Structures are given as C-alpha cells and as structure tokens.
Structure 1
Amino acid sequence: MPPAQSPVARRLSLLPSRRRALLAGLLVVPAVPLIGCGSQAVAQRGSVLPDFADLAERVLPAVVNIAVQSETTTVPPEFRGTPFERYFRGRRERTQGAGSGFVIDPTGYIVTNNHVVGSATRVTVSLQNGTEMPARVVGTDELMDLAVLKVEPRQPLPAVPWGSSGAMRVGQWVLAAGNPFGLGGTVTSGIVSARGREIGAGPFDDFIQTDAAINPGNSGGPLFNQAGEVIGISTAIYSPSGASAGIGFATPSDLARPVVEQLRRDGRVDRGWLGVSVQDLVPEDPRAGRRAVLVTDVVRNGPAARGGLRAGDVVLAVNGERTESSRVLVRYVAALPPGQSVRLSVQRDGRSVETSIQVGRRPPGPG
C-alpha cells in the first residue's frame, strides 16, 4: 500500500510521510527510457547510453520491500475536549504503509528512512525472491530521516557497499531501486541533476537531486552509481501530482553512512548542540566583507549561554575554521561529541572576542 503524500500543496512528499516543507510545490521521495552498466547501447543520434542490465541484476537482490503496520488512537475533531472524547480513547485504528530499503550487512542489517517505519508496531521485510521476515528496529534518526532494521536470516543475505556521494558529479548516471506504489523490484535510471539541494526538510539539508523516476514507496531505497555502490537514499520528490515529475531527492551517502553506523552501534545518534538560533550574515557588497553567522537568540541556561555567547554576536570561526554560513556552523557542532569544548571567534560591538563553550547534547526533535 503506497505511503501517504505530503499535505504541503500535495507536492512535497517525503516518501511516504516525513516532515513536509519547502516551497509550495515539493512532494517528499526520465521520460527517455535508458537501456541499461556493463554493455553499451547506441542512441539514434550516435551518442552512447549505458546499459543498466548487469548492474540491476547485481544489486537488486540486496534491495528489499518494507511493509509496516501501525496502531493509533484517533479522536474525531468534533469530540476533542468534550466528555465524549473518552469513548474514543480505547479505540485503536490500524494503518499500513510500504517503503524500500537495502541490505548493508549479510547478517541482516538494513537501511531505510525513518518516516517509512515511523511508529510502526510491526515491520516486515520482503526479499526479491519472495522471502518475508519480521524486522526489528535497531535505531532511528528523525533529523536525517534514517532508520536501521535487523532481520534474522537463515543464511547470509546479498549486501551492497557504500560509495562516495562526494565523488559524484552533476551529469553522472545513477540507478534508483525500490518498491514504488508497491511494485517491488523496480529500477529506474537517470543522472545527478544537482548537488547540495536545500528543500526545507531540516538543518542537515544537503540532498542529491536526480531525474531518475522516484515515486511513493521508493522511500528508503538506494541510489546507485555505475559501480553498484550506494551513493544516496531516496527520500523526497518534487511533484504537483504526487507522482514522479523528474525531480527526486536522495540523502547523500557521505552524510548517511556515519549516522547509520551510530544507529547500528548505539541505537541512537548523539549530536553536539550550542543552544542558539543563528542566521547567515551576508554583507551588502560581497567585496566589502566576509560572510559570517549572526546569533539571533541564545537558549537560557544552554551551553552557549553558560559559555558567555550573546544574541547579536557574530561568529567568524569555530576552532580556527571560518564559518561562512549557519549550515556550516550547525553541522560542525553537531558532529562534535557532547561534552567536548569548542572555541568560537566572535565579533561583539566592534571588537574581537574568543569564547570556549562546552558542547551539550542536542535535544530530540526536528528543530
């Protein structure tokens, strides 16, 4: 059963449901058919297109379908806050959903999106040969929209390796695989359309954009390079209709891999946190000054407040490294283990200030 679509103008669909945001027009998770990465096919105009047949045959056994069941208590809006509300609290509604995933370890570790499993009470993984196995959720991370599952196979499973998303160039071929609209074992091809896309999904937006057809149900499925390595995880699509419009987004493997390793090891991800609100500070004339980060608010009794940081401070560098955007600052701090100290170079009231802050643990939630 295909996952739910985004309510934001019904365009930003986080395959199947995740936080929806962006421009009025994005839907979370090409027209020219491509002949598949081992042999080559010649197009009518003489250009050479890749043949994905060998690649698909090699990687598909490691791509899985994920079915989930959830139970929720639903109180009709008209009865909320009335004496009749208690009559609905004991009634539970069962919902179903579907997504994709891929095996990263022959012992049964599987990667998918957090919004695929969500608050599921039951998760079932189906292999390409039809084998079904119950899965246990090892850990989830809402901020990166990632989840790690574990199944107990009777024999080692086919697995696929990670690749480097940073090595991918705009225009290079990619292959997407998954379970669109419940149609398991589906592959589509395209190119890397853009890198570093921000779609308003969270503080760690840095998506790969591709024109490989991605649809609801592809969520959590792998995006392969021509070597058969996972360089992205399908997460969102931009579409006015809910179906693929040739604009899909995948979480880069370079960002996903360390999170997956932490989830597999600890069942959670601990990120560093300063407790500040920040925004980019761009000079009116780019030639007149450097980019920096403006502190707009400081959480009371948070790490930054205890370290002496103030609203209105301009952060120029972290541990000696220039910070030209709020994204750079947030990611740098998030990568630090809670408890470690960080040195900020700050401009305050026209003078330079150095301050040391002990990084705290980022609280749960999307913010």
Structure 2
Amino acid sequence: MKKILSLVLISALGGVLTLGGYKLFLEEKNTVVVENVQTTPNFLPTSNINTLYNTTEAPDFVSAAENTVNAVVHVKNMSMSSGPMTFEDLFFGGGSQRPQLGTGSGVIINANGYIITNNHVIKNAQKLSVTLNNNKIYEAEVIGADPKTDIALLKIEADDELPYVTFGDSDNAKIGEWVLAVGNPFNLTSTVTAGIISAKARDLSGKSTQSFIQTDAAVNPGNSGGALVNTNGELIGINTAISSQTGSYVGYSFAVPSNIAKRVIEDIMEYGNVQNGILGIRGNALNSKYSEELGVNETEGVYIGEVVEDSGADRAGLRQGDIIVKVNNTKISKFSDLTGQISSKRPNDIVQVTFSRDGNIKTVPVTLFKNNVFTMPLVGEIKDVKKVDLKKFKVSNGVKIIKLNEKYNDYWTRNGVAEGCIITSVNDVEVNSIEDVQKALKNQSDYDSLRLELINTKGEKDRFNFR
C-alpha cells in the first residue's frame, strides 16, 4: 500500500514539473508581445538615426542645379589701372596705366541674351567678355547700371536662343528655406553650393539703405553677380557680398532680392535709368530703449519722425508719431524691412501701409512719388518747388531748400539763408528741378568751385562762390 502511494505522489510531482517546464520554456509568450505593442510611444526619440536622416525627404537640388548652371555666365572685365611709379614717370611725368582683369558672374534672364550682374563687377570696364557654360565667348555691352542697388544689365548677341533663369518672388522666400548659389568663385567656372536662407532684410551699410537676403551658402570672390535660386530653380537673388575678415567666405553671404533686381533692370530697359519711388517719411526703427525715450509701447516697427511735404505719405494722412508695422501685409520690424518693400516698387505704385496711431491699427493706400529730394553738397536737402513758392519770392525758376547742412548751418544763417529759400542757379546754369541740379554737379570734382545764386530771407538775390 505504501508503495502504491509513493508511486502516485511521484507521478503527480512529475506531472507538475513537466507542466511547469512547458509553461516556462515552450509555450509562446503572446501576452508579452501584445503588451509591448500597446506601450510603444507615439513620438520619435531624437536618437532614431533613420528618422533624422530620412533621405526620401531630403531636398532635391539636381534639377535646379542643372537648369541654373547653364544660365550662369563668367564675366571678365578688362580695365586700366594706375600702376606703381616708375623711373620713366619721374623723368617724363604722368603715371603708367596697366591692364587689369577682374572676374565675376552673371545670370542670363531671357533667351535674347540679356544678363544681370553686379555693378561692381563691370565698373570702369573698357572691355567686357562673357563665357557661357558651353565655353562659347561673347563680347558684352553694358545697357545700364544702378550703383545704389549694385545691379547692372548686360547684353550679348548670340546666334541661338540662350538658356535662362526665370524670376521668383523673393518676398515669398522663407528663413530656413534651402537655396543654391551658382557662380564662378576663384575662376572655378560653374560652381554650385547649397545652404539655407539665414535672414532677410539685412543692411550692411548701417544707414538702412540695403535689404539683402542672407544665406550660409558658400560664396567667394568671383561669385558676385551669380544666381541665388530656390529648389524650384527660380531666381530669388543676385549674390553680391560676403562678410569676412579674411576676404573669403566664413559663413555669411548676401544677395540682392530678385524683386529689387527685377525692378531695376525693367526700369533700365524701359526708361534708360532707375525710377525710385519714395514713401515720403523720415524715421527710425524701434527698440526697447528708443521706444522708452519716445514713450511708446511698441518695440517693433518704424517710427515716423517726419513726413515729407506733398509726398504720398503726406497725402495719405500719415503723420509724425505713427508707427509703420506692415507694408502690403509684410511685417515691418526694422527699417531695412521697409527699405526692401519700397525698393521693389516704382513711382505711382500703390502700397498698403498698416500703422499704429494711439494704439489703434489702421491701413491706408499710399501712392509712391518720384524722389524729388536731393542732398546737395554744402547746402543740404533741396526739392522741387511749387508755383506758390516761386510767386512768393518773385522768381520764375529754382529749387527749394528744405533742410540746411548741419555742418554749415551757422554760416548760412549768418548770411541770411534759411530753409525755404530758393536756389535759382548752380554753376551759372539756371535750375528748374533737382534733375537740373544733378546735371550741373555731374562732372564736379572736389577741386572745382561751386557757384550758387539764390534768393535769401530778405527776398534779395545773393551769390556764393565756394572753392
């Protein structure tokens, strides 16, 4: 009997051990797998290399590069420069002139051979040549140039239609967007580099006269005048400058926005010169310190310190103390933002100006006027004069002084000259507009005398001769 009980117990114990082993080692762990699926996080960890470097989502530069590289040309500028003094110069007088070769880039903008480049690339050229990507060489003619924006327009005569780049809208370019810079750095033709837009509306002058697109695409000497294109191959800028202590690329490059460059070359082609529209305000960009001095709450935007008489801003009702916050629905944070928007327009264009006045936001249409204000050496700012002012001073022609040169203000005041007086003659030439004044001063050197005839505050005609 005891043997039978022992056998039963041993059999039962063996069954328990067999079942436990099966459960532990052989049975599929379906419940564990289900539990893992349910607890998988719904975010992607930063250590997931496959996600960070997903090549299927990387920008494709190939098409944009292929289309652009054939439309970017190599520009060679042959000019004469004064070399170091030689023994012949000492004995026979004069200075030796030596040929100098400068190089840069350009962008073909239509099939007929019009090429856009930088003014500094073609400045003082006695002979210009253009080399295409297929190694064909053409002589180039300067159609026109604008030193202010550093844009120039060239023309070549080719037998066949040429590849060209179409303009994009630089206002739509976004910070962080991929771009390509195409040009000829260090005479290395047809070079493509990539980067992103680092900033917009950059001013390098410190005078709020520029509004560059800043990128980190590598740009070096020789890239000037080349193309900055987006991934669609559209021209959104003309590469113009670098910021460097060495003279070579260190991480910053700057391009003239395509909307400004396009307006300049269209003006050159249609009018022969650049038609600059002005808003008609003087002011400064706000920041926390300046805002505190003015007693305003806003720290962004352009504060209007003065409205130019009879300008578009004046006629639209803008006034001192208003803060411009948008133009054509583009945010204005600093003065170069405003410069960029106005520089892409011409006289008689209408812009929608959004401004803050006493905490209220308003939007008004402003018609841009032709710039009729000119800063005259020694005198100050002058503008075209109204008939009522001519009648007041009993003269038939002239231009009006609206702001005296601060350096010579005391001199003018002592001699009975003030703001509002009329200049009737410059260098013995009668003037009826600021264009007449500019023509009279066009060939004036620093050593030539400046002769003025004007009506002083007493209504008397007075003459001045500066040497």
**Structure 1 length-normalised TM:** 0.67
Taking the TM superposition and a 5 Å limit, the aligned residue runs for 1:23-34 are none
Aligned length: 302
Q: For residue 67 of structure 2, what is the aligned residue in structure 1?
A: 58
Query: Is residue 2:201 matched to residue 1:199?
Result: no
Larger Rg: 2
Deviations 1:48-84 (A, max 9, x none): 23343333222211110000012245797xxxxxxx8
Give 1:67's aligned residue.
Answer: 76
Following TM superposition, by how much is the alpha carbon of 1:46 offset from its aligned partner in structure 2, in angstroms? 2.9
SS in 1 for 2:261: helix
Indicate conservation of the 8 Å contact 1:273/1:303, yes or no: no
1:248 corresponds to 2:253: yes
Deviations 1:224-254 (A, max 9, x none): 1111111111111122222211211111112
Distance 1:45 1:254 in 2: 35
Partners of 2:114 and 2:154 within 8 A in 1: yes
Q: Given that residues 137 and 147 in structure 1 are in contact (C-alpha distance below 8 angstroms), is that contact kept between their aligned partners in structure 2?
A: yes
1:59 partner letter: T
Deviation at 1:285, TM superposition (A): 8.0
Partner of 2:229: 224
CA pair 117-56 structure 1, distance change in 2 beyond 3 A = same
- 1:111 alignment partner in structure 2: 116
Change (3 A) 1:180 1:364: farther
Aligned equivalents of 1:187, 1:63: Cα separation in 2: 10
1:85-104 residue pairs with structure 2 within 5 A?
87-88=93-94, 91-104=96-109
Please point out which of 47, 50, 53 is paired with 2:54: 47
Q: Which residue of 2 aligns with 1:284?
A: 292
Structure 1 residue 141, shift from structure 2 partner: 0.8
In the other structure, the counterpart of 2:371 is 361
Q: Tell whether the 8 Å contact from 1:174 to 1:191 is kept in structure 2 after alignment.
A: yes
Q: Give the Cα separation in 1 of the matches to 2:132 and 2:51.
A: 37
Q: Give unmatched runs, 5+ long, in structure 2.
A: 1-48, 358-365, 376-380, 382-467
Indicate the SS of the match to 1:254. Answer: helix
Q: 1:245 to 1:295 in 2, by over 3 A?
A: same
| Inter-CA distance 270–217: structure 2 relative to 1 (3 Å threshold) | same
Can you list the C-alpha shifts for 1:113-133, whole angstroms capped at 9, x where unaligned? 111111211111110111111
Q: How far apart, in 2, do the equivalents of 1:189 and 1:54 lie?
A: 13
1:337 partnered with 2:347: yes
Matched, 1:259 2:264: yes
The 1:85/1:138 distance shift into structure 2, 3 A limit, reads farther
Structural RMSD (CA): 4.5
Q: Relative to 1, partners in 2 of residues 1:364 and 1:155: Cα closer, same or farther, differing over 3 Å?
A: farther
CA distance in 2, matches of 1:236, 1:184: 18
In structure 2, what is the Cα distance between the partners aligned to 1:214 and 1:358?
35
Task: Return closer, same or farther for 1:321/1:176 CA change in 2, 3 Å cut-off.
Answer: closer
In 1, are the aligned partners of 2:130 and 2:138 still within 8 Å (CA)?
yes
Counterparts in 2 of 1:109 and 1:52: CA distance versus 1, 3 Å: same
CA displacement at 1:337 relative to structure 2: 2.3
Q: 1:364 to 1:97 in 2, by over 3 A?
A: farther
State the SS of the aligned residue for 1:140. Answer: strand
What residue number does 1:140 align with?
145
C-alpha separation in 2, matches of 1:270 and 1:141: 10
Paired amino acid for 1:87: G
**Aligned-partner Cα distance in 2 for 1:358–1:61:** 38
Change (3 A) 1:86 1:249: farther
The answer to whether the Cα contact below 8 Å between 1:143 and 1:202 also exists between their aligned partners in 2 is no
**Contact kept? 1:303, 1:360, Cα under 8 Å:** no
Amino acid at match of 2:234: E
Contact 1:169 1:192 in 2 (8 A): yes
Moved more, 172-181 or 278-287: 278-287
Corresponding residue for 1:19?
none
For the pair 1:122 / 2:127, whether they are aligned, the reply is yes
In the TM superposition, what is the alpha-carbon distance from 1:326 to its structure 2 partner?
A: 4.9
Relative to the length of structure 2, the TM-score reads: 0.54
Mapped partners of 1:46, 1:110: distance in 2: 39
Once residues 50 and 151 of structure 2 are traced to their aligned partners in structure 1, the CA distance between those partners, rounded to angstroms, is: 38
Q: Give the Å deviation of 1:193.
A: 1.7
- Look up the equivalent residue of 1:256 and give its one-letter code: A
Task: Report the identity percentage.
Answer: 35
Supply the distance in 2 between the matched residues of 1:163 and 1:85 (Cα, whole angstroms). Answer: 58
Judged with a 3 Å threshold, the aligned counterparts in structure 2 of structure 1 residues 87 and 364 are, in CA distance, closer, same or farther, namely farther
- 1:265 to partner: Cα distance: 2.1
Counterpart of 2:93, as a letter, is Y
Letter in 1 for 2:53: G
- Residue 185 of structure 1 aligns with which residue? 190
Q: Which runs of 5+ in 1 are unaligned?
A: 1-41, 77-83, 348-355
Structure 2 Cα separation of the partners of residues 106 and 54 of structure 1: 19
SS of corresponding position for 2:69: helix
Match of 2:28 in 1: none
User: What SS is found at the alignment partner of 1:181?
Assistant: helix
How far apart, in 2, do the equivalents of 1:333 and 1:250 lie?
17
Contact 1:177–1:186 (CA<8 Å) still a contact in 2?
A: yes
Query: Deviations for 1:133-155, whole angstroms, at most 9, x for unmatched residues?
Result: 11111111111110110001111
Cα distance in 2 for residues equivalent to 1:104 and 1:94? 30
C-alpha displacement at 1:255, in angstroms? 2.0
